Amino acid sequence: MAGGHKETPGGEREGSPRVSSVSHLTLNRLSFYLRCLRSLQSEEVQRISSKELANRYHLSASQIRKDLAQFGEFGIRGVGYDVAQLIEHLSDLLGLERLHRMIIVGMGNLGSALACYFGFNSGAFRVVAGVDRDPAKVGASLCGFTIGHTDDLAKEVRRSRAEIGILCVPAEAAQSTYDELVAAGIRGVLNFSPIRLRPVENVAHKDVDLRIHLEELAFFLKEPLPAD
């Protein structure tokens, strides 16, 4: 087996040989903390302790501290954390201080939806291009860009200066499209197709398998309802 990267088959696998090894669990929590802090800021809260943050959002205080301490001393002992400052630090840490341009490959149901999805077009993220194989779709405009043809993928990536590719093509096309994206110089890929990609060095990579989430739910629905 090649380099020892940890994998969670079918669910989230996370790419790139990591130099600074932060677990994706920690990263996800940091993202979540950031969201909480923004909410607090809008409520004009200026300082917060790990304990209160934990109470408000059902988190663990010691875990908040551990997570943050990994990256420096952001808090003030005896006081807590400065909300604005911590937002600043976390945004910086997560790479959210600049805009990330994204291209969607495969403008089917899911691709089209994501192109206009608020979560993909707010804050540090923006969908700036999209391509599809189907000539009938090419040329259509939606949510701020005009759909190009998948044959021009590399050109579209360069033109739009996208650094993240959102892969929404069917399973059969996923690996080849991924390789094209990488060849075009993409730096990160969010893969919605239900297959495992052969990942490339130095390209960040995240699988999101929507079906698998349903199957997880199904497992719990199978269990007999405890009639209490």
Residues that bind DNA (CB under 7 A): 5-6, 8, 23, 25-26, 49-51, 60-63, 65-66, 68-69, 73-81
Site string for a copy of itself, 32-71 (x = CB under 8 A): xx-x---------------------xxx------------
80 binding partner (options a copy of itself, DNA, none; Cβ < 5 to 8 Å by kind): DNA
Contact between 74 and a copy of itself by CB under 8 A: the answer reads: no
117 binding partner (options a copy of itself, DNA, none; Cβ < 5 to 8 Å by kind): a copy of itself
Contact between 73 and a copy of itself by CB under 8 A: the answer reads: no
Strand partners, 41: none
Type of residue found at 190? L
Residue 50 tokens read as: 């790990």
Query: Which of 188, 189, 51, 38 is closest to 123 using CA atoms?
Result: 38
Main-chain phi, psi angles of 206, to 5 degrees? -145, 125
DSSP 185: T
Q: Label the pairing between strands 141-142 and 164-167.
A: unpaired
**What is the number of other CB atoms lying within 10 angstroms of the CB of residue 84?**
14
Contact between 96 and a copy of itself by CB under 8 A: the answer reads: yes
- Tell me the C-alpha to C-alpha distance, in Å, between residue 167 and each of 69, 130, 190: 35, 10, 6
Quick one: which segment of 69-77, 148-156, 162-170, 177-185 binds a copy of itself (CB under 8 A)? Answer: 162-170
Contact between 136 and a copy of itself by CB under 8 A: the answer reads: no
Spatial distance between the Cα atoms of 21 and 12, rounded to a whole number of angstroms: 16
Contact between 208 and a copy of itself by CB under 8 A: the answer reads: yes
Strand, coil or helix: 103: strand
Which of residues 94, 154, 173, 184 is near a copy of itself by CB under 8 A? Answer: 94
Contact between 1 and a copy of itself by CB under 8 A: the answer reads: yes
In terms of CB distance, is 112 or 150 closer to a copy of itself? Answer: 112
8 A C-beta contact, residue 65 and residue 50: yes
Q: How far is the CB of 53 from DNA (least distance, A)?
A: 7
124 binding partner (options a copy of itself, DNA, none; Cβ < 5 to 8 Å by kind): a copy of itself
Which of residues 45, 173, 184, 204 is near a copy of itself by CB under 8 A? Answer: 204
In terms of CB distance, is 85 or 121 closer to DNA? Answer: 85
**What is the number of other CB atoms lying within 10 angstroms of the CB of residue 103?**
27
